[in-house]
């Protein structure tokens, strides 16, 4: 099977909610030593995005959405530990507190960002999903973090990102701890509007943005 075929089958497995196939392909990617970033971004992610489109068009319902999300998580559970193993053993590049904001349970993308930061030498404190806004700040102060990374997948919960930026300003912590935002509905314009320090459209970009800020 060619690389393109494998990538296409990964997307298809997610769309069809075929967990066995999604997992088998993830294992095959490891055996074949494929580029895992490419596998995720060009294989699995287009699949789950298509599922979102089908749901939006009323062709898929919540059970299908949940089944596909579970397939995606199973495949990511196989790939993410391997991604983190390839971690460059250097001194920590910086400390990150990450989570999905209050009211939002989407965590697939957040987990990818978390893994990529970890694999690239950042010390990551992952608070999970549906995290109380104050908790991000508490944890960041506790571990003396360089960054708070806020994921939001709902237009409603994006407001939580804005609120964290405001609280950080009120507490005079903005100079010391930088805020990065991301998630499907988030863009650079939103990040600029709310006064966040950075935005990343995917996990790779998130790492680059964090590295750039650290070097400044
Ligand atoms: C899978 C999924 C689910 C799963 C989530 C499972 C899980 N554990 O995560 C389930 C089925 C549980 C779910 C539930 C719901 N969902 Co949903 N879901 C999706 C779907 C299809 C894919 C999301 C995903 O995982 N994408 C793949 C990952 C890899 O991409 P990503 O999350 O965008 O992350 C990447 C980047 O954004 C970036 N990134 C992410 N976070 C961060 C953070 C930082 C700091 C940085 C720099 C970068 C970054 O890097 C990531 C990796 O490349 C989207 C559709 C879509 N197009 O996004 C809808 C979607 C987000 N859901 C939606 C909705 C409405 C819901 C529900 C409200 C449905 C309901 N009626 O109950 C509930 C929400 C409940 C809640 N309170 O949170 C809507 C949101 C609409 C809106 N405008 O607000 C969407 C857009 C679907 C749609 N087209 O309408 N959902």
User: Could you list the pLDDT tens digit for every one of the 216 residues in the chain?
Assistant: 889 999 999 999 999 999 999 999 999 999 999 999 899 989 999 999 899 899 889 999 989 999 998 999 999 999 988 887 766 555 678 999 999 999 999 999 999 899 889 878 899 999 999 999 999 999 999 999 999 999 999 999 999 999 999 999 999 999 999 999 999 999 999 999 999 999 999 998 999 999 999 988
Ligand 1 centre distance from Cα of residue 64 (Å): 14
CA 92 to chain centre: 20
Q: Return the bridge partners of 147, or none.
A: 96, 178
- The finding on whether 185 has its CB within 6 A of some atom of ligand 1 is yes
Alpha helices in 120-202 (DSSP H): 133-143, 158-170, 188-194
Q: For residue 1, with 0-12 CB atoms within 10 Å meaning exposed, 13-18 middle and 19 or more buried, which class applies?
A: exposed
The pTM (predicted TM-score) of the whole model is: 0.92
Ligand 1 centre distance from Cα of residue 203 (Å): 14
DSSP element (H, E) containing 125: strand 123-126
- The finding on whether 29 has its CB within 6 A of some atom of ligand 1 is no
- The finding on whether 127 has its CB within 6 A of some atom of ligand 1 is no
């Amino acid at each position: 099977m060619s690389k393109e075929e494998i990538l296409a089958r990964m997307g298809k497995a997610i769309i069809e909610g075929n967990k066995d196939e999604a997992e088998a392909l993830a294992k095959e990617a490891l055996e074949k030593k494929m580029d895992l970033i490419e596998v995720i971004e060009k294989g699995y992610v287009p699949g789950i995005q298509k599922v979102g489109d089908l749901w939006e068009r009323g062709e898929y319902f919540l059970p299908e959405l949940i089944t596909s999300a579970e397939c995606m998580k199973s495949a990511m559970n196989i790939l993410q530990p391997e991604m983190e193993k390839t971690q460059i053993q250097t001194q920590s590049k910086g400390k990150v507190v990450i989570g999905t904001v209050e009211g939002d349970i989407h965590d697939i993308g957040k987990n990818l960002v978390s893994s990529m930061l970890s694999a690239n030498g950042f010390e990551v404190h992952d608070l999970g999903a549906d995290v109380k806004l104050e908790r991000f700040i508490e944890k960041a102060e506790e571990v003396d973090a360089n960054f708070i990374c806020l994921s939001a997948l709902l237009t409603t919960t994006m407001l939580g990102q804005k609120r964290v930026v405001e609280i950080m300003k009120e507490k005079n912590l903005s100079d010391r701890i930088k805020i990065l935002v991301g998630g499907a509905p988030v863009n650079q314009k939103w990040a600029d509007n709310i006064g966040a320090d950075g935005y990343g459209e995917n996990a790779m970009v998130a790492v680059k943005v964090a590295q750039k800020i650290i070097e400044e």
